[in-house]
């Protein structure tokens, strides 16, 4: 952020700190910011994740500056801004994950697979916005009506994905033995196997556990 602020050209994933001119990354009153986001377009969602990260990085850096202006030393200024710094990193990582997911779609040739994985990617991006809607709203990246629109869109995606849910987990191709779960076994025969598993519990090695003879029975004679 400091290098970008000093006009240095950054390389790699953080180069977005160059792209956004600092006026735009200032938190703006919502009314002042034209928000043209197509919530069905992953590329534009990646864009607002990027702006959110840039804004949060900027806010963390500002917090450090303010602390330094109170004559704090660098280390204390850093520690007093740690919450903002963690939040900025989290936003940066979130942006990277959304971006990589979106990029990956470009590599998927099969149309049916592309369609279902695109729905997953869109759900991932929209759900992330819902969970962090405060950031996006505060930064003026989205309007309240758009956040509501996203909630509706998420519900549509849930029903859209519903028919493929089992096939999508089957695609992980986790062998039954590796999954090691009665509830998740491939054939879905859960209850009969759960009963059989329970019967193998060491506690069931005898019909009457020895503690009955050692404690419960003697207890009766004393009462």
Partner 1 sequence: MNADILKERQNATFDVEKLTNILDGGPELTKRRREIESMVLNDPDFMEEDPNFLSRSERYDQAVRKSAQMILKLREYGIADPEEIYCYKSTVHLGKPEPLDLHLGMFLPTLLNQANQEQMDRFFMPSWNLEIIGTYAQTEMGHGTHLRGLETTATYDPATQEFVLNSPTVSSIKWWPGGLGKTSNHAIVLAQLYTQGNCHGLHAFIVPIRDMNTHVPLPGIVVGDIGPKFGFDEIDNGYLKMENVRIPRENMLMKYAKVEPDGTYKKPPSAKLTYGTMVFIRSMIVGESARALSKASTIAIRYSAVRHQSEIRPGEPEPQILDFQTQQYKLFPLLATAYAFIFVGQYMKDTYSRISGDINQGDFSELPELHALSAGLKAFTTWTANAAIEVCRMSCGGHGYSRSSGLPDLYVNFTPTCTYEGENTVMMLQTARYLVKS
> Which residues 143-202 are close enough to bind partner 1 by CB under 8 A?
154-155, 157-159, 161-175, 177-190, 194, 197-198, 200-202
Q: Which residue has the tokens 């804004």?
A: 55
CB of 32 to partner 1, least distance (A): 26
Complex with partner 1: residue 169 or 216, whichever CB lies closer: 169
Own/partner pairs, 28-33, CB within 8 angstroms, 24+ separation: 28/139, 28/140, 29/140, 30/137, 30/140, 30/143, 30/144, 32/140, 33/140, 33/141
User: Is 96:54 a contact under the CB 8 Å cutoff?
Assistant: no
CB of 184 to partner 1, least distance (A): 3
CA angle 94, 98, 103 (to 5 degrees): 145
Angle, helix 42-69 to helix 111-131, in steps of 10 degrees: 30
Question: Three-state SS for 87?
Answer: helix
Query: Which of positions 45-84 make contact with partner 1 (CB under 8 A)?
Result: 57, 60-61, 64, 82
In DSSP notation, 112-167 reads HHHHHHHHHHHHHHHHHHHHTHHHHHHTTSS-HHHHHHHHHHHHHHHHHHGGGHHH
Complex with partner 1: residue 96 or 137, whichever CB lies closer: 96
Complex with partner 1: residue 172 or 215, whichever CB lies closer: 172
Phi and psi dihedrals of 77, rounded to 5?
-60, -40
Q: Is 206 left (phi over 0), alpha (psi -120 to 50) or beta?
A: beta
CB of 173 to partner 1, least distance (A): 5
Complex with partner 1: residue 52 or 94, whichever CB lies closer: 94
Query: Which of positions 27-46 make contact with partner 1 (CB under 8 A)?
Result: none
Tell me, by CB under 8 A, how many residues bind partner 1.
Answer: 82
Complex with partner 1: residue 204 or 217, whichever CB lies closer: 204
| 121 touches partner 1 (CB under 8 A) | yes
CB of 196 to partner 1, least distance (A): 10
**211: which 2 tokens?**
């503690």
Query: Which of positions 79-108 make contact with partner 1 (CB under 8 A)?
Result: 82, 85-86, 88-90, 92-94, 96-98, 100-101, 104, 107-108
CB of 21 to partner 1, least distance (A): 16
Among the residue ranges 34-42, 115-123, 140-148, 211-219, the one whose residues contact partner 1 (CB under 8 A)? 115-123
CB of 180 to partner 1, least distance (A): 5
């Amino acid at each position: 952020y400091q290098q970008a602020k000093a006009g240095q050209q950054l390389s790699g994933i953080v180069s977005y700190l160059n792209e956004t001119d600092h006026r735009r990354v200032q938190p703006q009153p919502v009314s002042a910011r034209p928000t043209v986001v197509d919530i069905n377009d992953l590329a534009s969602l990646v864009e607002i994740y990027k702006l959110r990260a840039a804004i949060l990085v900027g806010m963390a850096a500002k917090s450090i500056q303010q602390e330094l202006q109170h004559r704090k030393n660098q280390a204390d200024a850093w520690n007093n801004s740690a919450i903002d710094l963690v939040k900025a990193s989290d936003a940066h990582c979130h942006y990277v994950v959304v971006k990589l997911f979106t990029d990956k779609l470009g590599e998927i040739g099969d149309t049916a697979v592309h369609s279902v994985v695109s729905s997953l990617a869109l759900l991932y991006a929209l759900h992330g916005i819902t969970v962090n809607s405060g950031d996006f709203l505060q930064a003026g990246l989205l309007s309240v009506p758009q956040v509501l629109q996203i909630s509706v869109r998420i519900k549509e995606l849930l029903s859209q994905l519903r028919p493929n849910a089992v096939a999508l987990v089957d695609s992980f191709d986790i062998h039954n033995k590796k999954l090691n779960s009665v509830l998740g076994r491939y054939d879905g025969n859960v209850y009969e196997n759960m009963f059989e598993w329970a019967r193998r519990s060491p506690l069931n090695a005898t019909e009457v556990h020895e503690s009955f003879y050692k404690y419960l029975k003697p207890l009766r004679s004393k009462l």
